[in-house]
């Protein structure tokens, strides 16, 4: 349970940061990631997973 909470926090924080990036710095038009809040949030969630995954010890 504790490990799944850590993964959930990583995804949630990443998605929140992705949304914040879109809100404050996002562009209009042809930017593939930052032109939509959904794309930006999903990208942030993916980055959160990658960062969490890189910190997992074998």
Is 1 inside a domain boundary? Answer: no
Range(s) of the domain holding residue 15: 7-54
In a domain, 14, yes or no: yes
Q: What is the pLDDT of residue 20?
A: 95
- pLDDT band for position 58 (cuts 50, 70, 90): low
Residue 55 to residue 26: CA distance in whole angstroms: 29
Residue 29 has what pLDDT? 74
Number of domain units in the chain: 1
In sequence order, the 6+-apart residues with CB closer than 8 A to the CB of 31 are: none
The pLDDT value given to residue 55: 86
Whether residue 17 lies inside any domain: the answer is yes
The larger pLDDT score, comparing residue 6 to residue 27, is at 6
Residue 35 covered by a domain: yes
For residue 24, being part of any structural domain is answered with: yes
18 pLDDT tier (thresholds 50, 70, 90): very high
Q: How many CA atoms lie within 13 A of 30 on its CB side?
A: 0
Give the CA angle between residues 33, 18, 25 to the nearest 5°. 70
């Amino acid at each position: 349970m504790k490990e799944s909470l850590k993964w959930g926090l990583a995804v949630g924080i990443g998605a929140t940061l992705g949304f914040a990036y879109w809100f404050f710095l996002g562009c209009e038009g042809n930017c593939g990631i930052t032109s939509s809040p959904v794309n930006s949030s999903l990208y942030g969630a993916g980055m959160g997973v990658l960062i969490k995954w890189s910190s997992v010890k074998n």
